[in-house]
Amino acid sequence: MNFNKIMICVAFLSSIILRAQTTEKITAHVNPFIGTGAAHGSPLSGNNYPGATVPFGMVQLSPDTRNTPDWSVACGYNYNDDTIAGFSHTHLSGTGVAELFDVMLMPFSGAIVKETEGQNAYQSKFTHDKESAKPGYYSVELLDYQIKAELTATTHAGFHKYSFPKNKEAHIIIDLDHSMKKSDWNTRIIASQLSFPNDHTVEGYRIITGWAPMRKVYFHAEFSQPIIHNHIKDGSNSYDNAKIVNGNAIRGILDFDTSKQQEVLVKVGISATSIENARLNIQAEIPSWDFNATVNNADAVWEKELGKIKIDGTEEQKQIFYTALYHTFIQPNTLSDVSGDYPSADFTVRNSFKPYYSTFSLWDTYRGAHPLYTILQSERSADFVNSMLAYYKVFGYLPIWQLWGQENYCMIGNHAIPVVVDAVLKNLSGINADLAFEAVKNSAAREHPGSPFGIWEKYGYIPENLKSQSVSLTLEMAYDDWCVAELAKKLGKTDDYNHFTKRSLFYKNLYDKQIGFFRAKDDKGNWIEPFDPLKYGANGGYPFTEGNGWQYFWYVPQDVKGLINLVGGDNAFAKKLDTFFTLEDKPEEVNDNASGFIGQYAHGNEPSHHIAYLYNYAGQPWKTQQYAAEILKKMYNTTSSGYSGNDDCGELSAWYIFSAMGFYPVNPASSTYVIGSPLLKEASIQLKDGKIFKVVAQNVSDKNIYIQSAKLNGKTYPKTFIHQSEIDNGGVLEFSMGPKPNKKWGIKLEDRPVN
């Protein structure tokens, strides 16, 4: 081969490689199995499911590996299990409560066997070798039946493809009784119905109460082949070839003749308002029987959404990053139908021309996920806020933890307040600022579970003998009050600004300067003894919520400077942080949410998430860089145990996304992001108006974690924070990284973050 031919071949191969690089699919980096099951003997990891969904969709079509999921497998799936009970259409991502699991289908082959009440005799063995998942698609071989099950989804519908073996009887179970354990949250099915309008259709509903009160779930299912027989059970009652069955424990077996066509396709539309809307949802989103087209459409939607950040890093970093972004974009969930109908908080059906959203895990997601949405999903973020405001107009205050359009009052405070305030302060379009202020003010004044404002105003703190979780409540309510004050300031409401600013400083009333911790008082003003800063509180009966005195000490994001002064200045504050990150004594009574420890820092639960960034406020940013880098590397990986705790509707994921780019919102409603240690070589954020904000980390590596210098748009940048406006304007934030701290960068008072 002569030289010219060699050069032509090299050029041709180079063009192929370049084309492959430029057309690399982002969805190929997503691994939905990350965080689906902890290593044996380890704390819970992620509680994520691997099934099919689209961004912010109503439907999450995923396998359930337990017949009655409980808190230990709240998403329905555990990677360490080896059986599948069926495929249900609704799931929660990363929460600590098992809920939803609506309308479960399960194919099986062979003879029908007798079941005892409540038993699932048709679950099947499976192996991960014959299981796969990607955004919008899941497949598995059910080993007991030699059936390949494939799943995909649209916003309001699930699409199943079951490939049955030859010469075997083919059946599909449809289960309306499948749910979490009946003992959990007093779960019970109030009513359900299964009906057969023709031999290709099944439809019905179930009304179930549990973590969310009286959820109404309607469905319409269409089959590609005729149903030749049905066998229905409602508890101990049996029906053969029924046309309609009403009850509260309904489970049916549908028979099919697959001798000529082994595949049975099923389209299932879901609605929270009516069977008719469930049918219309299918017609709008899956008009044909082209399963692969639906898979491709789901992939294209994910590719577009995930492409809002383009990164350069190692393959492992890309997999963790884009899976985290995928998990963050799973929820909040669309609750309105394609028609705009949605279930209001008063159990009536209302209509909205914009999507109405639910699944607001606000105690978790207000910290990182919602600030991320304001950057990457600004239009949706406005819709999230408007959904909350519509809820407020009916309910009287903003949601605390809203599921399927209803309040479950999980966790404390009212952290819809910072979400609403943040959106208005960032000038997201389409939000009525006056209504937003009315909502946050009333939500910070009207008593409701988890927010005892009467005693708050009376005592200037929450007395533990009147309300448990008092220290956490005091600290969290003070932050919410600061948010109300900031919105009042923007709108020129001086009296409200002064009132809520005063309340935002109530946190100081529980600081014991003798021991240097926030601790509980009774209603007489006496410290409650004994006090152990290592003792862990869960959700009730103790002054701290899912944390201890060490972890909650730092929860004053609205007034870090004030907290520094309480401790005794920068050096004392940094020294206390040093102790926090190195004190190895494990907290007492730790539950599975408290995991991912570095000293007393517990990355597996949200009260710790901002703490590594606090060194910047005290003039020691190199320690923020040290611990941010350590958390990024230790607390995330690409295995099924890739999270250090429950993902909590994307909050652990959002922490990674922000921190890997090099900054994090310590105060989520301040429009300020505190700089840490960028992990990625490059991250380009695609902004709504076509602008790009790029973060570049020169020489970054496992060892080069310390910022030597920084530039913003080519100019020297000594600050350890960046404002939202600087991101919105587009540009380049460039860091020069090295193996040793530069203890002169970012230490001046004017270069430190304020709130």
| Domain annotation covers residue 640 | no
- Out of 270, 290, 306, pick the residue that ends a domain: 306
Q: Which of 375, 378, 410, 329 is nearest to 651 (CA)?
A: 329
Please give the full DSSP string across 334-385, using - where no structure is assigned.
Answer: E-S-TTSEEE-TTS-EEE-SS--EE-EEHHHHTTTHHHHHHHH-HHHHHHHH
* Domain C-terminal end among 283, 306, 329: 306
In a domain, 110, yes or no: yes
Distance CA 77, CA 75 (A): 6
Residue 184, domain member (yes or no):
yes
Segment holding 279, helix H or strand E? helix 275-285
221 and 141 within one domain: yes
Place of tokens 């529980």: 510
Beta bridge partners of 252: 174, 232
Nearest-angstrom CA–CA distance, 472 and 315 = 40
* 421 and 280 both lie in a single domain: no
pLDDT at position 579 is 98
The DSSP 8-state label assigned to residue 693 in this structure reads: E
**Residue 102: CATH number of its domain:** 2.70.98.10
> Are 415 and 523 in a shared domain?
yes
CB 169 within 8 A of CB 110: yes
Q: What CA dihedral angle connects 635, 638, 639 and 642, to 10 degrees?
A: 30
Residues 280, 374, single domain; the answer is no
Task: Flag whether 167 is in a domain.
Answer: yes
Is there a contact between 64 and 88 (Cβ–Cβ < 8 Å)? yes
Q: How far is CA 343 from CA 53, 205, 346, 352, 737, in A?
A: 21, 15, 8, 11, 52
418 and 521 fall within a common domain: yes
CA distances from 693 to 27, 390, 678, 690 (A): 22, 33, 15, 10
* Residue 558 lies inside a defined structural domain of this protein: no
Provide DSSP, 458-509: HHSS--TTTSSSHHHHHHHHHHHHHHHHHHHHHTT-HHHHHHHHHHHTGGGG
Asked if residues 35 and 643 have their Cβ atoms less than 8 Å apart, the reply is: yes
Residue type at 261?
Q
Task: Establish if 241 belongs to a structural domain.
Answer: yes
- Distances, alpha carbon 575 to alpha carbons 460, 567, 578, in Å: 29, 10, 5
| Chain Cα centroid distance, residue 712 | 32
Q: What are the strands, taking DSSP E only, across 114-155?
A: 124-125, 131-134, 137-142, 147-153
- By CB atoms closer than 10 A (0-12, 13-18, 19+), residue 296 is middle
Of the candidates 433, 518, 517, 507, the one whose C-alpha atom is nearest the C-alpha of residue 476 is 507
| Per-residue confidence (pLDDT) for residue 44, from 0 to 100 | 54
Given a contact cutoff of 8 angstroms between Cβ atoms, the answer to whether 49 and 94 are in contact is: no
Q: What is the CATH number of the domain that holds 434?
A: 1.20.1050.60
Cβ contacts of 26 within 8 Å, gap of 6 or more? 302, 303, 306, 307, 310, 322
Query: pLDDT at position 588, please?
Result: 52
Based on the fold, state whether residues 383 and 301 are members of the same structural domain.
no
Q: Which residues contact 586 (CB under 8 A, 6 or more apart)?
A: 534, 597
pLDDT digits (tens, 9 = 90+) for 572-582: 999 999 999 99
Q: Give the integer Cα–Cα distance in Å for 328 and 34.
A: 13
pLDDT at 182: 72
Tokens of 715: 């100019």
Give residue 110's pLDDT. 92
The total number of structural domains in the chain stands at 2
Judge whether 547 and 472 are in contact, CB under 8 Å. yes
Listed residues 265, 286, 306: the one ending a domain: 306
10-residue mean pLDDT series, the chain (755 residues): 42 41 84 86 75 98 91 90 97 93 96 73 95 98 97 98 94 93 80 97 96 95 98 93 96 95 97 98 98 98 98 97 98 98 96 97 97 97 98 97 95 96 97 98 92 92 95 97 98 98 98 97 96 83 91 97 97 98 72 74 94 98 98 95 93 98 98 98 94 97 98 98 96 98 97 91
Give the domain extent around 410. Answer: 370-531
d(CA 476, CA 56): 28
Q: Distance between CA atoms of 461 and 477, rounded to whole angstroms? A: 9
DSSP bridge pairs for 710: 735
Contact indicator for 534, 548 with CB cutoff of 8 Å: yes
Q: Within this chain, do residues 153 and 54 fall inside the same structural domain, yes or no?
A: yes
SS (H, E, C) 26-59: HHHHCCCCCCCCCCCCCCCCECCCCCEECCCCCC
In a domain, 634, yes or no: no
Type of residue numbered 21:
Q
The CA-atom distances, in angstroms, between 95 and each of 78, 500, 515, 647, 650 are 13, 32, 35, 7, 9
* HEC secondary structure over 203-265: EEEEEEECCCCCEEEEEEEEECCCCCEEEEEECCEEEECCCEEEECCEEEEEEECCCCCCEEE
Instruction: Clarify whether residues 375 and 300 are in a common domain.
Output: no
Peptide bond preceding 621 in cis form (omega within 30 of 0): no
The pairs formed by 116-123 with CB atoms below 8 angstroms and a separation of 24 or more are 117/235, 117/236, 117/249, 119/67, 120/67, 120/85, 120/86, 122/173, 123/67, 123/83, 123/84, 123/85, 123/86
Q: Does 51 reside within a domain?
A: yes
Structure tokens at 404: 């399927």
Give the SS3 label for residue 561. Answer: helix
pTM of the entire predicted model:
0.95
DSSP assignment of 701-728: -SS--EEEEEEETTEE---SEEEHHHHH
- Note whether 300 and 375 are same-domain residues: no
| Residue 448 per-residue DSSP state | B
- Per the omega criterion (within 30 degrees of 0), is the bond before 332 cis? yes
- Please give the pLDDT value at position 116: 65
Residue 15: its pLDDT value, please? Answer: 41
Calculate the alpha carbon distances from 704 to 448, 682, 712, 737, 739 in Å: 49, 15, 20, 6, 4
